[in-house]
Amino acid sequence: MKTSTWIVASLTVLLGPPTARGQEPPPPAPAEAASPAAPEVAQPAASPPVPLDTAMVKRGTGVYKRYCVSCHGPHGDGRGYSAQWLDPRPRDFTSAIFKCRSTPSGSLPTNDDLLRTLRVGFYHTYMPPWEVIGDRSIRDVAEYIKTFAPKWKEEGPQAPVVIPPEPADDQASRARGKTVWGNNQCEKCHGATGKGDGASVPTLIDDWGNHIVPYDFTKSDSRKCGNTPADLYRTFMTGVNGTPMPSFADSMTPAEAWDLVHFLQTLRQKD
Ligand code: HEC
Ligand code: HEC
């Protein structure tokens, strides 16, 4: 999608309720989130914190007030004045939980992870790509949003997950990937055909208490955390923090994860 389309979409939100998009209130949250396949993820030792660059933080304050405050709020808690109309809700930075990371489940993202999110935005949500504000502003505001959560002062991001080279994508690999999909119960959330309509869907809520839907593999190749085969591999191994989408780093070998990447290519339905 073109940047301009996103900016227009965001402005629509900033200027009034998004009647065009027909937002519906999320269904009532159930008492507990079901995470049928969530394995226990061992937490590696935290890395030392990286001191914030005060000059960047200072410049980033202005960038934030201009471009981000309407959604993410003056206190970074995701309660900007447009937030009430958005689903999913703008992120609450005070929790320091980030969906797209190269780092293991539960870790802070690297600075490069944050920069990537800011440059490309999140497809299928109101989080726009920010390439238009320029690289320096993106870097400054990335530094500034770290001031909202004490966690950034206490620890640094863990080492990124290692992605081994991709083996051949052939019929045999795709067939093995189908078994990996079955063994890890992906269909409980993503559905038998990958449509995002698994049996657990009505019970899925995110860490902020909102109903959340799994990704639909049949429709689009526009994922939040990237669209290359390596991005997919990384997503299984890091999980999507703050959501019921777990990390499979402890239950899948690298070879199995690559087979699964290849199987997922078969779920896309051609328009
Ligand atoms: C029009 C509303 C809107 C504006 C303006 C906006 N965001 Fe967001 N942002 C969102 C929404 C909605 C999400 C949550 C999407 C999700 O959880 O799937 C989000 C999520 C994020 C995330 C979380 C990424 C992750 O990996 O979890 C970051 C970081 C972020 N925004 C930074 C910014 C910054 C910096 C700005 C200003 C330059 C900005 N946003 C402006 C709506 C907005
Ligand atoms: C407990 C439910 C659950 C299970 C089990 C689950 N997922 Fe997910 N998955 C989700 C949810 C919810 C999202 C949406 C997260 C979001 O949009 O913030 C998601 C998103 C994804 C995404 C897209 C991330 C992005 O970048 O937008 C991929 C890829 C994915 N899942 C793959 C898998 C695979 C492969 C399996 C099995 C190995 C699996 N999931 C098992 C709930 C689940």
pLDDT at 108 over 70: yes
pLDDT at residue 253, as a whole number: 97
Ligand 2: distance of its center to the CA of 74 in Å?
Answer: 31
Number of domains in the chain: 2
Can you tell me the mean pLDDT for 208-226?
92
Indicate the average pLDDT of the chain: 87
Q: Let me know whether 154 and 177 are in one domain.
A: no
Q: Let me know whether 146 and 192 are in one domain.
A: no
Nearest-atom index, ligand 1, CA of 141: 35
Q: Let me know whether 144 and 180 are in one domain.
A: no
Ligand 1: distance of its center to the CA of 129 in Å?
Answer: 9
pLDDT at residue 271, as a whole number: 59
pLDDT at 206 over 60: yes
In a domain, residue 41? The reply is: no
pLDDT at 2 over 50: no
Q: Let me know whether 211 and 259 are in one domain.
A: yes
Choose one of 120, 137, 159: the last residue of a domain.
159
Name which residue leads in pLDDT, 170 or 22. Answer: 170
Q: Let me know whether 218 and 187 are in one domain.
A: yes
Name the residue range of residue 246's domain.
171-267
Can you tell me the mean pLDDT for 255-264?
97
185 lines ligand 2 (CB under 6 A): yes
Q: Let me know whether 109 and 146 are in one domain.
A: yes
The number of the ligand nearest the C-alpha atom of 194 reads 2
Nearest CA to ligand 1 atom 12: 90
101 lines ligand 2 (CB under 6 A): no
- Give tens-digit pLDDT for 16-71: 333 333 344 444 444 444 444 444 555 566 789 999 999 999 999 999 999 999 99
In a domain, residue 216? The reply is: yes
35 lines ligand 2 (CB under 6 A): yes
pLDDT at residue 45, as a whole number: 63
Here the CATH number for the domain that contains residue 206 is: 1.10.760.10
In a domain, residue 16? The reply is: no
pLDDT at residue 26, as a whole number: 43
Average the pLDDT over each of 20-29, 35-44, 167-176, 185-194 and give the range with the smallest value. 20-29
In a domain, residue 13? The reply is: no
Instruction: Encode the chain in three state secondary structure.
Output: CCHHHHHHHHHHHHHCCCHHHCCCCCCCCCCCCCCCCCCCCCCCCCECCCCCCHHHHHHHHHHHHHHCHHHHCCCCCCCCCCHHHCCCCCCCHHHCCCCCCCCCCCCCCCHHHHHHHHHHCCCCCCCCCCHHHCHHHHHHHHHHHHHHCCHHHHCECCCCCCCCCCCCCCHHHHHHHHHHHHHCCCHHHHCCCCCCCCCCHHHCECCCCCECCCCCCCCCCCCCCCCCHHHHHHHHHHCCCCCCCCCCCCCCCHHHHHHHHHHHHHHCCCC
Binning pLDDT at 50, 70 and 90, where does residue 104 land? very high
pLDDT at residue 14, as a whole number: 44
Q: Which of 11, 91, 151, 205 is the pocket-test mutation for ligand 1 (most atoms within 8 Å of CB)?
A: 91
pTM: 0.87
Q: Let me know whether 86 and 110 are in one domain.
A: yes
In a domain, residue 252? The reply is: yes
Q: Let me know whether 53 and 151 are in one domain.
A: yes
Choose one of 159, 184, 212: the last residue of a domain.
159
In a domain, residue 31? The reply is: no
pLDDT at 155 over 70: yes
Can you tell me the mean pLDDT for 194-206?
97
Q: Let me know whether 76 and 127 are in one domain.
A: yes
pLDDT at residue 174, as a whole number: 98
Choose one of 159, 182, 210: the last residue of a domain.
159
Q: Let me know whether 144 and 184 are in one domain.
A: no
138 lines ligand 1 (CB under 6 A): no
Q: Let me know whether 155 and 190 are in one domain.
A: no
Nearest-atom index, ligand 1, CA of 130: 38
In a domain, residue 25? The reply is: no
144 lines ligand 1 (CB under 6 A): no
pLDDT at residue 219, as a whole number: 87
In a domain, residue 245? The reply is: yes
225 lines ligand 1 (CB under 6 A): no
- Give tens-digit pLDDT for 62-102: 999 999 999 999 999 999 999 999 999 999 999 999 999 99
Residue 158 in tokens: 């863990």
Ligand 2: distance of its center to the CA of 132 in Å?
Answer: 30
With a pLDDT cut of 70, the percent of the chain lying above it is 83
pLDDT at residue 269, as a whole number: 82
Nearest CA to ligand 1 atom 33: 68
